[in-house]
Structure 1
């Protein structure tokens, strides 16, 4: 007789903290599970989990949530399997940011929560390597994020909708405005380009962020006003409208210091737009695809990459469709979705790992405490 399918519960962060990448990641899994025999409860509470009678699994999304700590503790005590998706919150840049605040909580709650998981889920090999400093490498499993919408190349129509002339080269940044994302580095890199390269250039900035950081960007713009091309500050754009920015761009730019996946890069590739990003993302293979440039998140490296793009990087309609096709083949929901189902079923069926390994110090913990 076949084993009954497990019921999946999502333990989620508050909506304001899930907005963007985490929400899209959860929606990706939800879209695929709707095609299967596995049932899903979103925004699950401990009461929801306690009410189930058959096999189940809890998927925790994000870290630093006290309610997740309590739910994980109950799951370990009652032998309920769970997996944890940190969603980049243990990446080196994120871990170092306000570490004084995170470190005590990690020791008291998060460490036990992670080590009691059946799997800690990474979205890229780069994130998996970083997570292996917190939990044993065999506990880390990698599944990329997937395309969630059926949107493809449509450059000419998108540019017409946005009012971008065909003789302009349009660079688009679409992400949160935050120091980690490196927009200040991009502004300085663009300002360092020779005047003949910026005459027909337009930089479109789509995003919002803390007022202090926005003011910092404005000061950079004022300081380099004569060297910078036209800049359109568009604010935050969500939903269907964002696609026209990605479709119409000549080059999508994400000069981030750290990114566990960089979903917006996937979305740019989905519509066939080449990408400029950094080694802090898992997208270095775009250079092998001849579909992108990789630069360090500093002004000189970004200036050099932009110079290469503007002087010698040709890109055609055929190139856009080729990149979109390769992206669908690798990251389509029909490719990625079954990997989640396999993971859930494996963790539910395997012997319990939830006794915890709190006696095993992580490599990063030992190094931070000077115990190596």
Structure 2
């Protein structure tokens, strides 16, 4: 079996999809029933990786042409001899080029939606997306052999838009070996830390975190600080800094640049609480990373992480200021042992349900099914009319 994956970019700046797709491919390369896995992507100045660990996998960087169309990519896809094509993300042309080639060669293809059909996401750049839907995107999605959603919530959004394809519901996976659990320190020096780590973008709800912080009593936050880690649009970051400065919060809220590799792990380990007050996430890979490191998480119902409440690993809340103030007050009032227990519950949740090993095995089962080599997996929803 040969699988060819396509994603527009794996640059450091692109965030979750680049990390989760390359982690998946790395693990698929270990499957003895897979002969080769390659990933086609456009040239990047700062890719998260330049190749896979296994000789069974290869990353192929293609030169972009006008509007990120790539003649080189289309030529390579035509010659790839893949049994299955797997595209990650929509709207950009590389995955659409893949879909076009797959239909011409009569090769099954999967599209991982990556949250890009969620209601909040569809409202952004609305007219451009409507045009893209008319020109190519609807055709690519409608004719996909299978669509991939990372949670039931995302699958429901896809169905509401009228797509009747089979939908495989498989979460993003975490390579737990890359995210060791933080060591709890009974007598921690310095202030306790709330961490936001993600792409700095209006959809992430960072303003909610800042304004909620302003409404906390001084005695509750006297020994706490917020660290906002990530990259994004310069103008937006400047607006956040101005909000912080205008309310004299420079000593308690800091915005720093993105962290990668061991520096990112260190940032997670320094945190006592992770907060992502987002409007919309199909999965939220940073939530899984924080939990893997043993950090309790507060996030909103714009994510599919209702398990936080069940596992007692933090809290899954409505997206509004009063709820965030309440949840922050609750968790910031806990002592170190209580927060540590929540963090360990989170690590256990990831180990049991989100390990990259289990996710890669599920994706392999989908590939086998699409090639008519096995029965339909239980986690694939087939439209019944």
Decide: shared fold, TM above 0.5. Answer: yes
Match of 2:362 in 1: 339
Query: Structure 1 residues 266, 193: closer, same or farther in 2, change over 3 A?
Result: same
Q: Per the alignment, in what secondary structure is the counterpart of residue 228 of structure 2?
A: strand
Match of 1:141 in 2: 168
The alpha-carbon deviation at position 318 of structure 1 amounts to 4.8
Residues 269 and 293 in structure 2, CA contact (< 8 A), matched pair in contact too: yes
Matches within 5 A, 1:250-289: 250-289=272-311
Q: How many Å separate the matches in 1 of 2:196 and 2:96?
A: 36
Deviation by residue 1:68-87 (Cα, 9 ceiling, x = unmatched): 32331232233111000121
Match of 2:23 in 1: 28
Match of 1:74 in 2: 101
The alpha-carbon deviation at position 223 of structure 1 amounts to 2.6
The alpha-carbon deviation at position 142 of structure 1 amounts to 0.7
The alpha-carbon deviation at position 66 of structure 1 amounts to 2.4
- Long gaps (5+) in structure 1: 1-5, 351-372
Query: Structure 1 residues 197, 229: closer, same or farther in 2, change over 3 A?
Result: farther
* Structure with larger RCO (C-alpha < 8 A, sep 6+): 1
The alpha-carbon deviation at position 138 of structure 1 amounts to 5.1
Task: Please tell me whether residue 41 in structure 1 is matched to residue 38 in structure 2.
Answer: yes
The alpha-carbon deviation at position 137 of structure 1 amounts to 4.9
Q: How many Å separate the matches in 1 of 2:312 and 2:124?
A: 34
Q: How many Å separate the matches in 1 of 2:26 and 2:286?
A: 19
Residues 132 and 140 in structure 1, CA contact (< 8 A), matched pair in contact too: no
Q: How many Å separate the matches in 2 of 1:68 and 1:290?
A: 39
TM-score by length of 2: 0.81
TM-score by length of 1: 0.84
- Long gaps (5+) in structure 2: 41-59, 61-72, 374-385
The alpha-carbon deviation at position 12 of structure 1 amounts to 1.5
Task: Please tell me whether residue 246 in structure 1 is matched to residue 243 in structure 2.
Answer: no
Task: Please tell me whether residue 205 in structure 1 is matched to residue 228 in structure 2.
Answer: yes
Root-mean-square deviation (CA, aligned residues, Å) is: 2.3
The alpha-carbon deviation at position 63 of structure 1 amounts to 1.0
Match of 1:108 in 2: 135
Q: How many Å separate the matches in 1 of 2:133 and 2:244?
A: 39
Residues 204 and 278 in structure 2, CA contact (< 8 A), matched pair in contact too: yes
Match of 1:120 in 2: 147
Query: Structure 1 residues 191, 155: closer, same or farther in 2, change over 3 A?
Result: farther
Q: Per the alignment, in what secondary structure is the counterpart of residue 9 of structure 1?
A: strand
The alpha-carbon deviation at position 215 of structure 1 amounts to 1.7
Match of 1:95 in 2: 122
The alpha-carbon deviation at position 202 of structure 1 amounts to 1.0
Q: How many Å separate the matches in 1 of 2:157 and 2:342?
A: 33
Deviation by residue 1:162-201 (Cα, 9 ceiling, x = unmatched): xxx5352210010111110011110000011011112111
Deviation by residue 1:315-362 (Cα, 9 ceiling, x = unmatched): 254543343133112111222111010111111228xxxxxxxxxxxx
- The aligned length equals 338
Deviation by residue 1:139-179 (Cα, 9 ceiling, x = unmatched): 2211101112412212358x99xxxx535221001011111
Residues 184 and 340 in structure 2, CA contact (< 8 A), matched pair in contact too: no
Q: How many Å separate the matches in 2 of 1:329 and 1:290?
A: 14
